[in-house]
Amino acid sequence: MVNSCRKLIFNIFIGFYYSAISLPQICICFQFSTPSMDQLNQNPGTFPVATNGDPFPWRELRLPNTVFPLHYDLVVHPNLTSLNFVASEKIEVVVREATQFIILHSKDLEILSATLHSKEDFRYMAPGKKLTVLSYPAHHQIALLVPEKLTADLRYYVTIDFQAKLADGFEGFYKSTYRTLGGETRIVAVTDFEPTEARMAFPCFDEPLFKANFSIKIRRESRHIALSNMPKVKTIALEGGLLEDHFETTVKMSTYLVAFIVCDFTSVSGTSSSGVKVSIYAAPDKRDQTHYALETSLKLLDFYENYFDINYPLPKLDLVAIPDFGSGAMENWGLITYRETSLLFDPQTSSALDKLWVTKVIAHELAHQWFGNLVTMEWWNDIWLNEGFATYMELISINATYPELQFDDYFLNVCFEVIKRDSLNSTRPISNQAETPTQIQEMFDAVSYNKSCSEGDFVSGGFCYSDSKMAGSTPTLLGENVEVKEMMTNWILQKGIPLVVVKQEGHLLRLQQERFLTGISQEDPEWKVLQERYLWHIPLTYSVSSSDLIHRHILKSKTDTLHLPENFSWVKFNVNSNGYYIVHYEGCGWDQFITQLNQNHTLLRPKERIGLIHDAFQLVSAGRLTLDKALDLTRYLHHETSIPALLKGLHYLKSFYHMMDRRNISDVTENLKRYLLQYFKPVIDTQSWTDDGSVWDRTLRSTILMLACDLSHAPCIQKATELFSQWIESGGKINLPTDVLETVYSVGAKTTAGWNYLLEQYELSRSGAEKDKILYALSKSKLREKLRKLIELGMDGKVIKTQELPTLLYMIARNPEGQQLAWNFVRENWTQLLKKFELGSFAMRTIISGTTSQFSSEDELQEVKLFFESRKAQGSHLDIFQTVLETISKNIKWLEKNLPTLRTWLLVSI
Ligand code: BES
Ligand code: ZN
């Protein structure tokens, strides 16, 4: 059963890939053919203008499909002293339609020459006919003009010599640096291409559907090594002492997956059951942090090969920790690159959550070797096929290989994360049009990663846990025919998340579906309009108080009725929170749960309890439930036996505390503080300052001790201060328990001496995990000049690397003393920031939402709005602007509506 289920999911997903690949192709055929020379000469005014003033023969952002690449021969020589690279390539192409132009992507490359020859077209048999090269930088394109029209179905070779500077940011072929223990700065040249930056390293057909084989050669000095997607076949010595590594030809693949690195890293290696050589590379001083990654990647590679029943197709897989990295990791085929903290595990300073993160990132990027690399979406509008399924596979693979990490409890948050965004009007459908590089980058968001994979989970929840029978692509679900395709299309093309309203009338349950919106309540005039035409096929699951049985029903219409034969006190929908919908229980539904949780919470499964807490607070934001009801639902928490459930409740209470603190609403802040300390005292007092216990024991310890110290709980502050002094006395040498490191540092950073000492240790530390913890502690300082100093260091990029700046700004903005500082900084240094990070990148989006989305006043909203409008006027627009504005409005409304309730509830509760 399990086996057929996994095959089913895999088939469904592959099915989606194929429909994504075959459908759009029909329309690009005619839309994307190149003009003739005559058309160009007769109507030059209708074409864009190339850099030399000539008309550029192509208007679109997407390439024409008149010429297809088959094979790239690429030789690259990065000079790690001059920080330039020179390169040449020979692209074998096949012509689909006679044409006089070859349009390629190229960005910031200096083209030195381009020639063409053919073994099949006699006119081009003589070597190297020189081609005219036109550039159109706005579209990152070059056009190669051939003297005589290329003939359809014939093959040609395009040879291009080019050069460029190693880039300064985190894209294309860029420069990274690190310091050795001896204090020497070393250079690494590394690529990062997804989605549209392969064109910064070599002229190419830089779209995912143009798959080709790549034969790569890298020139280097003998003190360095070179790595690429494939194993090295040989090294030859060149004149002047240079070496040239030749790599095996790749399988057919998209340009965004090509990678090469020149560095002086060392590695540890092992072999998978199927004989794949797996290596972990890192800077030489960090080799002792690579062992966990090696063990994990071997285990996961074995798992995926068995699970998919498709072998990993390459002979080797390298995982490399890059000192400067824009995102978390990148799945280049055979050469996966990681930010150091996503790959390295330091037993002395990495916590339980750090281990979970490393495991998650490895599992994710390995899953891409199948989902994404082997099968690829045709275009970026369907990037969810890559990211959603890689995220979903994290759950499947980690549950199987590291059950002790209890990853599925963590995974619920994946779904909750995206609901925040998906319940705003400005959200987007999973599959979404994207044309410009910025729009394409913006597709890498919670909707692609989290929503797609939450739905993956409901597919499995719906089909796998039942005795499903397979019938082609139409699985039978307890007698009901589920048209998978129909159901999936309304989830993929329709934005938002449904709300299911349940009303109990004796043995009857009345169901109704709506579009769930926070920040806009039913009374608002626009609510009705925003509801129009939304309808989902929702695979509901539910259970009743009197039995363990899981019932299923697909809600396809606006309203529906269920008859329940049994007697029961409550019905709980969305069993184990597997489904992507919010549930509201009208009438006395919520009261029944409040009573049940107080009497015996274990009659509901832990994930049910988490789901109830989550939905209740979401419903408060939507104006459907009063805050005191949701708060009453958390009253049982001191009896809560499931740590993830306890943490969920705590999360909301904590977030209210921080909101009050940031807004300086001191009476409520003080009362919340008292309530939290009083209420969770038993949990706080039973914590040990060690690393003992399960992942969740350890997560609870980290969270609750940090909270206790943030709330100035004397015994905790005292213990943390004691440990901090011991640490300083040992010159930063003794190993403190990793789970409490962040707390100890945060308390230590409260004094100027402690803060200064931590900054010194930050510079010295070789562990990314430790550095992150120190930086977090430093960013919590109450002294503005310290916060200002951190931002300065982050901008400078030496002590605090530029890659840390987005998180740093986010953390400072969460600090009540820093929120204005961080926001003003972003406004005043926008242009500077855009020189460091691309507009649509993860980094820039973190900076924008990280420094604004905590705001909750009308003045702040106006300020942010004005700023975004001025950016738009200058041509910088991001979808996230609207998300932020709606989030701030939502916060404002929340406060308006709920502050008095919160105040009163606290007064009666403490
Ligand atoms: N394919 C992405 C890397 C990426 C992100 C490319 C954004 C282009 C734009 C990679 O597989 C990925 O998803 N990385 C994540 C880590 C993952 C564990 C969620 C990241 O970088 O945060
Ligand atoms: Zn990914």
Chain segment 344-398, per-residue pLDDT in tens: 999 999 999 999 999 999 999 999 999 999 999 999 999 999 999 999 999 999 9
Residues 3-12: contacts with CB within 8 Å, 24+ apart? Answer: 4/470, 5/460, 5/463, 5/464, 5/468, 6/307, 6/396, 8/463, 8/468, 8/470, 8/475, 9/456, 9/459, 9/460, 9/463, 9/464, 10/308, 11/473, 12/459, 12/473, 12/484, 12/488
pLDDT tops 90 at residue 12: no
Tell me what percent of the residues of the chain surpass a pLDDT of 70.
Answer: 93
| Alpha-carbon torsion, ordered 636, 640, 645, 649, to 10 deg | 40
Q: 10 Å Cβ neighbour count for 718?
A: 12
The answer to whether the beta carbons of residues 759 and 748 sit under 8 Å apart is no
Identify the residue whose C-alpha is closest to ligand 1 atom 13. 387
DSSP assignment of 818-872: THHHHHHHHHHTHHHHHHHS-TTSHHHHHHHHHHHTT--SHHHHHHHHHHHHHHH
Give the residue-averaged pLDDT of 76-98: 98
Of all protein residues, the one whose alpha carbon is nearest to atom 7 of ligand 1 is 444
Helix-strand-coil split of the chain, %, nearest 5: 45, 20, 30
Residue 479's CB is within 10 A of a number of other CB atoms, namely: 6
Instruction: Give the confidence band of 13 by pLDDT, cuts at 50, 70, 90.
Output: low
> Residue 24's pLDDT is what?
39
* Two tokens, residue 447: 């909707």
208 lines ligand 1 (CB under 6 A): no
CA distance 806 to 801: 10
Residue 361 CA: nearest ligand 1 atom is 18
Beta strands, E only, 470-556:
476-477, 480-481, 498-505, 508-515, 538-544, 551-555
Closest listed ligand to the CA of 387: 2
Confidence (pLDDT) at 461: 44
Give percent of the chain with pLDDT exceeding 90: 88
Place of tokens 């989290």: 450
**pLDDT value at residue 14:** 55
Question: Per-residue pLDDT for 129 more than 90?
Answer: no
Does ligand 1 have an atom closer than 6 angstroms to the CB of 329? yes
Q: Is 328 in the pocket of ligand 1 (CB under 6 A)?
A: yes
Average pLDDT value for residue range 130-134:
97
Closest CA to 624 of 714, 517, 534: 517
CA nearest neighbour of 317 among 275, 376, 377? 275
In angstroms, the CA 163 to CA 410 distance is 47
- For the chain, how big is the Rg over CA atoms in Å? 29
Catalytic residue among 305, 365, 514, 770: 365
Nearest to 838 by CA among 426, 442, 323: 442
d(C-alpha 319, C-alpha 332), whole Å? 10
Which of 1, 25, 6, 11 has its CA nearest to residue 485?
11
Nearest CA to ligand 1 atom 14: 329
Tens of pLDDT along 167-177? 999 999 999 99
Q: Tell me if 434 CB under 6 Å of ligand 1.
A: no
Q: Where are the beta strands (DSSP E) in 432-591?
A: 476-477, 480-481, 498-505, 508-515, 538-544, 551-555, 559-563, 571-573, 582-585
**Ligand 1 neighbourhood includes 365 CB (under 6 angstroms):** yes
For residue range 770-793, list pLDDT tens digits in order. 999 999 999 999 999 999 999 999
The closest-lying atom of ligand 1 relative to the alpha carbon of residue 394 is 18
CA 383 → CA 255, 448, 496, distances in Å?
A: 15, 7, 18
Would the CB of 257 count as within 6 Å of ligand 1?
no
CA of 311 to the centre of ligand 2 (A): 20
- Is the link from the previous residue into 644 a cis peptide, with omega within 30 of 0? no
Cβ of 846 below 6 Å from ligand 1: no
Residue 10 is predicted with a pLDDT of: 54
pLDDT mean over 178-205: 97
CA atoms within 13 A on the CB side of 602: 3
CA–centroid distance, 391 to ligand 2, in Å, is 7
Q: Which of 319, 330, 342, 366 to mutate to test the pocket of ligand 1 (most atoms within 8 A of CB)?
A: 330
Q: Could you tell me the two tokens for 54?
A: 């000539």
Q: Three-state DSSP class for 337?
A: strand
- Taking the centre of ligand 2 as the mean of its atom positions, its distance from the CA of residue 335, in whole angstroms, is 14
Strand partners, 513: 500
Q: What pLDDT does 566 receive? A: 76
Query: What is the helix (H) or strand (E) element at residue 550, kind and residue range?
Result: none
Q: Using an 8 Å Cβ cutoff, are 860 and 890 in contact?
A: no
- pLDDT of 625: 97
Rounded to whole angstroms, how far apart are CA atoms 894 and 892? 5
* Pairwise CA distance, residues 795 & 802, whole Å: 6
Helix (H) or strand (E) holding 16: helix 2-31
Average pLDDT, integer, range 16-32: 45
Write out the two tokens for 609.
């309890």
pLDDT at 463 exceeding the cut of 60: no
Q: Which residues touch 116 (CB under 8 Å, ≥6 apart)? A: 124, 128, 129, 131, 144, 146, 156, 157, 158, 159
Cβ count within 10 A of residue 435: 13
Ligand 1 neighbour 170 (Cβ under 6 A): no
Query: Following CA atoms 672, 676, 678, 683 in sequence, which dihedral angle do they give, to the nearest 10 degrees?
Result: 180
Find the 63 Cα to ligand 2 centroid distance in Å: 25
Whether 109 has a pLDDT exceeding 90, the answer reads yes
Task: Name the pLDDT band for 15 (thresholds 50, 70, 90).
Answer: low
Smallest-distance ligand from the CA of 444: 1
Atom number of ligand 1 nearest to Cα 192? 6
Q: What angle do CA 3, 8, 9 make, to 5 degrees?
A: 105
CA 756 to chain centre: 33
| The token pair that represents 186 in the structure block | 């070393």
Does the beta carbon of 15 sit less than 6 angstroms from any atom of ligand 1?
Answer: no
Q: What is the mean pLDDT of residues 624-652?
A: 96
pLDDT digits (tens, 9 = 90+) for 843-892: 999 999 999 999 999 999 999 999 999 999 999 999 999 999 999 999 99
Q: Which bound ligand lies closest to the C-alpha atom of 331?
A: 1
DSSP 794: H
484, 473 contact by CB (below 8 A): yes
Mean pLDDT of 652-667: 97
Q: Give the per-residue pLDDT at 29.
A: 38
Ligand 1 nearest atom to the CA of residue 390, by list position: 11
Q: How far is the CA of 743 from the centre of ligand 2 (A)?
A: 31
Known catalytic residue at 640: no
The region of weakest confidence among 194-198, 284-288, 393-397, 565-569 is: 565-569
The Cα 512–Cα 555 span in angstroms is 9
- What pLDDT digit, counting tens, does each position of 245-257 carry? 999 999 999 999 9
Contact 482, 417 (CB under 8 A): no
Q: What pLDDT does 489 receive?
A: 85
pLDDT at 471 over 70: no
Pairwise CA distance, residues 512 & 598, whole Å:
28
Q: Identify the nearest ligand to the CA of 193 by its number.
A: 1
Q: Does the pLDDT of residue 68 top 70, yes or no?
A: yes
Nearest residue by C-alpha to atom 22 in ligand 1: 328
Beta strands 243-247 and 559-563, pairing class: unpaired
The pLDDT tens digits of the residues spanning 39-49 come to 777 888 889 99
| Chain Cα centroid distance, residue 704 | 27
Residue 546: pLDDT band by 50, 70, 90 thresholds?
confident
Tell me, what amino acid is at 242?
A: L
Query: Which residue(s) pair with 161 in the sheet?
Result: 88, 113
| Å from CA of 440 to ligand 1 middle | 13
Protein residue with least CA distance to atom 8, ligand 1 = 194
Is the pLDDT confidence value at 151 over 80? yes
pLDDT band of residue 16 (cuts 50, 70, 90) is low
Mean pLDDT in residue range 100-105: 97
Q: What is the mean pLDDT of the chain?
A: 93
Taking the centre of ligand 1 as the mean of its atom positions, its distance from the CA of residue 436, in whole angstroms, is 19
Q: How do strand 316-322 and strand 335-339 relate by DSSP bridges?
A: parallel
What phi and psi, each to the nearest 5 degrees, are found at residue 752?
Answer: -60, -40
Strands 582-585 and 498-505: parallel
Per-residue model confidence (pLDDT) at position 349: 96
Instruction: Please name which of 671, 256, 167, 591 lies closest in space to residue 444, comparing C-alpha atoms.
Output: 256
Residue 480, pLDDT score: 54
Which atom of ligand 1 has the smallest separation from the CA of 195? Answer: 8
194 lines ligand 1 (CB under 6 A): yes
Residue located nearest, by CA, to atom 6 of ligand 1 = 194
Contacts of 75 (CB under 8 A, 6+ apart): 87, 88, 89, 216, 217, 218, 219, 244
- Decide whether any atom of ligand 1 lies within 6 Å of the 360 Cβ: yes
